[in-house]
Structure 1
Amino acid sequence: MQNDHATPRWGSDYLAALLRHIGLEYVALNPGASFRGLHDSLVNYLGDHAPRMLTVLHEEHAVAIAHGYAKVTGRPMGAILHANVGLMHASMAIFDAYCDRVPVLVFGATGPVDTARRRPWIDWLHTSKDQGALVRSFVKWDAEPASLEAARDAVLRARQIATTLPHGPAYVCFDSALQEAPCAAAPALPPLQRYNPPRRPGVADSVARDVARLLYAARRPLILAGRVSRNEEDWRRRVALAEHCGATVLTDVKVGAAFPTRHPLHGAAPGYFMGEDGLAALREADVILSLDWVDLAGTLRSACGADPVPAHVIQISLDQTLHNGYGGEHQGLTGTDTYLMCDPDEFSGQLLEAIRSLGTPRMAPPWDAHSGGARARDAYPHEATHSHATHSDARSDEAAGPDGIPLTVFARTISAHLQRNAPACLIRTNLGWPGGAHPFSHPVDYLGYDGGAGVGSGPGMSVGAALALMGGPRLPVAVLGDGDFLMGVTAFWTAVRYGIPLLVVVANNRSFFNDEVHQEKVAVVRGRPVENKSVGQRLETPEIDIAAMARAQGALAWGPVSAKNELEHALLEAVAAVRSGKVAVIDARVGREYAPAMANALTRGD
């Protein structure tokens, strides 16, 4: 093992030192011959420290772990992928990170570009003329440098671009011949601070004052708090801004916690789709301030249909800088009255200062976050009061239904244990989770979904988030659907291997239930038997032993549990295990249903 100042002997020694230089704490990888030189240098030149290597069992997990890590820290983690085949494996996870606007540094490798240096057969298969083309449509930038000087500049640029707002993944591919060539003269590593991303962009103070006057004069202002930072000071500024102008605030389950959900100004339970209370608030608003809301056009269309939105709509977002013709992650085209290309958190601070000069707060006295606010514990009782074929019914006796624990009971039980073991981080939730089931009072209370709605992302992202939280006070908890768990279960081996504590509760309805709902809709439209909706969807005959699959990765496991008291007992034991440094998985049998807001949204066609 060499020290930081040892002269690199090989190209890969220099590349490994470069990864340390840019501040990477970890790199996740599945071993591959295309980066055997870099692998050796990470171990024998750097001593498997800064960055530390995390072995994964699938390349998709490498990127998903880096994704989850960045959602907590806001900093990039490295993922190393083997040749073109590893990049193909990981492409969905890269797409998720791109859609979620998360900084991830992806490093690839290729067989020798020089055909004369290729080994027979395998190097030809694993060498592409333009490897970055596989993912170019959903990364912010990519490069394939041909020298160590070019590699230095590419890695510095990749870090700078990935961490420039809006964030996203960047990809750099290293030629295996470059890695394995002797390093005759190592290029100098420049001061990192000279290659930092630009400061968060705001607007001119005069523009902030114009918006402040508009918002402060509004009778029914409304703030859509979307993709914002995990920074506590930014969180406090958003709360103060809403209080000063008396704005109703709506939040979104697809992204991380953006506003305290027990605050009296929080207007409706968050969800994957806007519920009826939120849509009514949108229709009544006279000024709507969007802080980089995901799918603003679709949300406004759900509220107003084809009619013009009556409110003055203000959009604060940099997202357009990433829009291209490849996909539709940019969502529908939004008609706005004021569109400011700036960072929503930086703008919120400017707007708060401007609005304070206009008069006293509309909400007085200011809400005390520590008191729990004016809302009762069950902040959104309407989440459990409606009935529909795909709804989670409110059962007064909380008994298990024919398929398992009702989702509302399932979610409330988990929430009670999270609050009892506060502080906790709800890393993500299953698709049917009732949005108002658990309160958020801190930006790291909840991290949101995966951006691209790619099934199988949950396990890797959960491990990455737990890695970022390791050593801190927060209990890391992920609630995953059974399909999501099963597609990525081997990611938990990495958590066990490296002692990353994590609690996973699997909402196991033994079905790809989202598609059952879609098949039901098609059957109704076509006049065909609704009872056939489960064909090709159910995970039965045989049922999969989820607890056994978790134990096979080295985790502790409980279940299946199918009643509230069984879930409570399993949670008590599992939480204690996680507090002692273990990975714990609970297989909870839940009803084949959705919470009302989700079911209503699907019914109306969202």
Structure 2
Amino acid sequence: MPTIGDVTYELLRAHGLTTIFGNPGSNELPFLAGMPEDFRYILGLHEGAVLGMADGYAQALGAPALVNLHAAAGTGNAMGALTNAVNSHTPLIVTAGQQVRSTIGQEVMLAITEPGNLTRPLTKWSYEPACAQDVPRAMGQAVHLASLPPRGPVFLSVPYDDWANEATTDSAHVASRRIAAGHCLSPDQLTEIAEVLDGARSPALVLGPQVDADGGNADAVSLADALGAPVWIAPSPSRCPFPTRHRSFRGPLPTTVEGVSAALVEHDVILVVGAPAFRYHQFGPGEYLPSGARLLHITGDPGEAARAPVGDAFVGGVGDALARLAAAVKPGQRALLPDLPDFPVPAASSPGRVQPAELFAQLRKLAPRDAVWVKESTSTSGDFWAHADLDQQGSFYFPAAGGLGFGLPAAVGVQLATPERRTIALVGDGSANYGITALWTAARYGIPVIFIILKNGTYGALRWFADVLDVGDVPGMDVPGIDFSRLAEGYGVSATSVRTVPEFSAAFRAALAGVRPTLIEVETALSAP
């Protein structure tokens, strides 16, 4: 008879889950001992980096990823990264090894005392099978729940003596099960939305990360062209759902109530697609909408629809809704918007310090058209979007919850998932320290990410917030004296440090020509979001 481990691996294979991201401990060894030869194990040196890699991999692949963590402590180490995954609707199956079943109640070393609660509320489902024979079915449930809309991470704790038990004959059914989700907007709902848009004096679109995740960018362009409408990205974008040089593109919305309302003041109908309405950050009170404006909201997440403070919401498949809506509205009622002005001229860099805007302008000229950008440098967001030239699906990733430590690991995962494209990580020196061990994984597996560390010696976004909150110069905002070139070389990644734009350009060209991971540390001037 096959074992529980045999049947579970067959189930994982059937769902394409043959890549495992992990950092193992004693509780996980019996599971890994049975790993088939067609599976690959991507080792990370810290659980936060492990989960960040899986997050980037699953988002870029558009499919679930499997994570293997060590007991409660290892799962706890990954919880910060899990905040990003739940907010980006990343389908992750997070597993952890539990102690031997007969000892769990004693709370022995490495026992998970409350597996059902350990990862809540950051997972859609947390579970420990009641017996060994329930493990394959539970794993199947985890895979399906992570994949069903709204997608998101799940957690499964498995006692390590379960894997060697014999499976029942019924266990074979779990590998062949399929679940199809078919929730879409009804024809009447689409007609209602289309009629409101057609009757609007000045409609506006606000697009979120789910548009990019659902492959809806081209349909978003068709809808914007048909309506002659400007397009914003929802606040704090974690993906890019619209080409940044299209005539309709207006960049990301601000992250305050008053800022959003001011940006949309000229519009009487606002359609939000694939994002919360709205996800604010710093407190800036005001009216949720401009006077007389109406908001319509299309989302695949019932929670996003239910908690919004304003607007009429429609829950259904975002990509499907965009495609049908683009065909349903009446085109040509408004003139096309004028082309965007040319890129702004960035401020010149000072000796020894590169201006982020000038760096991004140079990258726009040097990087491949299909490059994938993984960014975790909040203080340079305004400069990045001002110089971004993104026009392909899946070209941009940012930590969806603002949890630090996403950038370096996620870039490794994204590059693994999209080997035909080059991944470029833009990471601040404050953020980089949270996921620095991902460099070892990139070196160990030869993953050719180009890591660019924007080094200004401080938490730039925090300094900006200190000004917003008028708190003055508080302790803990500076991180001087870190040599990222030497750190990278210690992890096995070739690295260089530059202080001028010409030095950076030469280093970037060399990195682009190589087939191994490379890190470029750039001394940058302080900028504001």
User: TM-score surpassing 0.5?
Assistant: yes
Deviation of the 1:491 alpha carbon: 1.0
Deviation of the 1:322 alpha carbon: 7.2
Look up the match of 2:494: 556
Look up the match of 1:405: 354
Tell me the TM-score normalized by structure 2: 0.91
Does residue 157 in structure 1 map to residue 141 in structure 2? yes
Does residue 591 in structure 1 map to residue 529 in structure 2? no
Look up the match of 2:502: 565
Match of 1:374 among 327, 331, 339: 339
Per-residue CA distance 1:468-517 (angstroms, 9 max, x = gap): 011x1x21111001122122111121121112111110111111222223
| Aligned-partner Cα distance in 2 for 1:265–1:97 | 30
Look up the match of 2:418: 469
| Aligned-partner Cα distance in 2 for 1:558–1:591 | 18
| Aligned-partner Cα distance in 2 for 1:288–1:502 | 38
Does residue 235 in structure 1 map to residue 217 in structure 2? yes
Structure 1 residues 511, 272: CA separation in 2 closer, same or farther (over 3 Å shift)?
farther
Per-residue CA distance 1:240-284 (angstroms, 9 max, x = gap): 111111111111452211111111111x23366489997655111
- The amino acid of 1:374's aligned partner reads D
- The amino acid of 1:405's aligned partner reads V
Match of 1:544 among 482, 487, 490: 482
Secondary structure of the residue that 2:84 maps to in structure 1?
Answer: helix
Deviation of the 1:145 alpha carbon: 0.9
Deviation of the 1:36 alpha carbon: 1.3
Structure 1 residues 278, 109: CA separation in 2 closer, same or farther (over 3 Å shift)?
same
- The amino acid of 1:491's aligned partner reads A
Look up the match of 1:190: 173
Does residue 313 in structure 1 map to residue 295 in structure 2? yes
Deviation of the 1:197 alpha carbon: 4.2
Secondary structure of the residue that 1:496 maps to in structure 2?
Answer: helix
Secondary structure of the residue that 2:161 maps to in structure 1?
Answer: helix
Deviation of the 1:186 alpha carbon: 5.3
Q: Is the 8 Å Cα contact of residues 255 and 282 (structure 2) preserved in structure 1?
A: no
Structure 1 residues 521, 38: CA separation in 2 closer, same or farther (over 3 Å shift)?
same
Secondary structure of the residue that 2:296 maps to in structure 1?
Answer: strand
Match of 2:248 among 253, 258, 265: 265
Structure 1 residues 376, 191: CA separation in 2 closer, same or farther (over 3 Å shift)?
farther
Which consecutive residues of structure 1, in runs of 5 or more, have no partner in the other structure? Answer: 1-6, 324-329, 368-372, 385-393, 599-606
Look up the match of 2:321: 347
**How much identity, in percent, do the aligned residues show?**
23
Q: Is the 8 Å Cα contact of residues 456 and 483 (structure 1) preserved in structure 2?
A: no
Structure 1 residues 76, 422: CA separation in 2 closer, same or farther (over 3 Å shift)?
same
- The amino acid of 1:351's aligned partner reads L
Look up the match of 1:414: 363
| Aligned-partner Cα distance in 1 for 2:167–2:189 | 55
Q: Is the 8 Å Cα contact of residues 11 and 175 (structure 2) preserved in structure 1?
A: no
Look up the match of 2:24: 31
Structure 1 residues 294, 359: CA separation in 2 closer, same or farther (over 3 Å shift)?
closer
Per-residue CA distance 1:379-426 (angstroms, 9 max, x = gap): xx3xx7xxxxxxxxx53xx23267x211211221222222xx222111
Match of 1:210 among 170, 178, 192: 192
| Aligned-partner Cα distance in 2 for 1:229–1:189 | 36
Secondary structure of the residue that 1:179 maps to in structure 2?
Answer: coil
Structure 1 residues 554, 313: CA separation in 2 closer, same or farther (over 3 Å shift)?
same
Q: Is the 8 Å Cα contact of residues 69 and 95 (structure 2) preserved in structure 1?
A: yes
Match of 2:239 among 252, 256, 271: 256
Q: Is the 8 Å Cα contact of residues 191 and 328 (structure 2) preserved in structure 1?
A: yes
| Aligned-partner Cα distance in 1 for 2:221–2:170 | 48
Secondary structure of the residue that 2:77 maps to in structure 1?
Answer: helix
Between Structure 1 and Structure 2, whose CA radius of gyration is higher?
1
Look up the match of 1:326: none
Deviation of the 1:127 alpha carbon: 0.8
Match runs of 1:430-469 below 5 Å: 430-433=377-380, 434=383, 435-447=385-397, 449-469=398-418
- The amino acid of 1:556's aligned partner reads S
Does residue 515 in structure 1 map to residue 462 in structure 2? yes
| Aligned-partner Cα distance in 1 for 2:104–2:323 | 58
Per-residue CA distance 1:162-198 (angstroms, 9 max, x = gap): 11122110111111121243x2645443375643341
Secondary structure of the residue that 2:224 maps to in structure 1?
Answer: helix
Q: Is the 8 Å Cα contact of residues 248 and 265 (structure 1) preserved in structure 2?
A: yes
Look up the match of 2:125: 141
| Aligned-partner Cα distance in 2 for 1:586–1:300 | 32
Secondary structure of the residue that 2:521 maps to in structure 1?
Answer: strand
Per-residue CA distance 1:51-84 (angstroms, 9 max, x = gap): 3111111111221111001111110111101111
Secondary structure of the residue that 1:558 maps to in structure 2?
Answer: strand
| Aligned-partner Cα distance in 2 for 1:11–1:228 | 36
Look up the match of 1:424: 371
Look up the match of 2:443: 496
Per-residue CA distance 1:355-399 (angstroms, 9 max, x = gap): 1xx4546456xx9xxxxx933541xx3xx7xxxxxxxxx53xx23
Structure 1 residues 194, 18: CA separation in 2 closer, same or farther (over 3 Å shift)?
closer
| Aligned-partner Cα distance in 2 for 1:519–1:233 | 38
Match of 1:483 among 430, 436, 449: 430
Secondary structure of the residue that 1:168 maps to in structure 2?
Answer: coil
| Aligned-partner Cα distance in 2 for 1:184–1:519 | 58
| Aligned-partner Cα distance in 2 for 1:437–1:166 | 32
Does residue 20 in structure 1 map to residue 4 in structure 2? no
Q: Is the 8 Å Cα contact of residues 488 and 519 (structure 2) preserved in structure 1?
A: yes
Q: Is the 8 Å Cα contact of residues 482 and 509 (structure 1) preserved in structure 2?
A: yes
Q: Is the 8 Å Cα contact of residues 207 and 273 (structure 2) preserved in structure 1?
A: yes
Look up the match of 2:61: 73
RMSD: 2.9
Deviation of the 1:348 alpha carbon: 1.3
- The amino acid of 2:46's aligned partner reads H
Match runs of 1:101-120 below 5 Å: 101-115=89-103
Secondary structure of the residue that 1:412 maps to in structure 2?
Answer: helix
Tell me the TM-score normalized by structure 1: 0.80
Secondary structure of the residue that 2:217 maps to in structure 1?
Answer: helix
Structure 1 residues 192, 222: CA separation in 2 closer, same or farther (over 3 Å shift)?
farther
| Aligned-partner Cα distance in 1 for 2:288–2:113 | 48
Deviation of the 1:319 alpha carbon: 2.6
Larger deviation, residues 512-521 vs 57-66: 512-521
| Aligned-partner Cα distance in 1 for 2:179–2:431 | 36
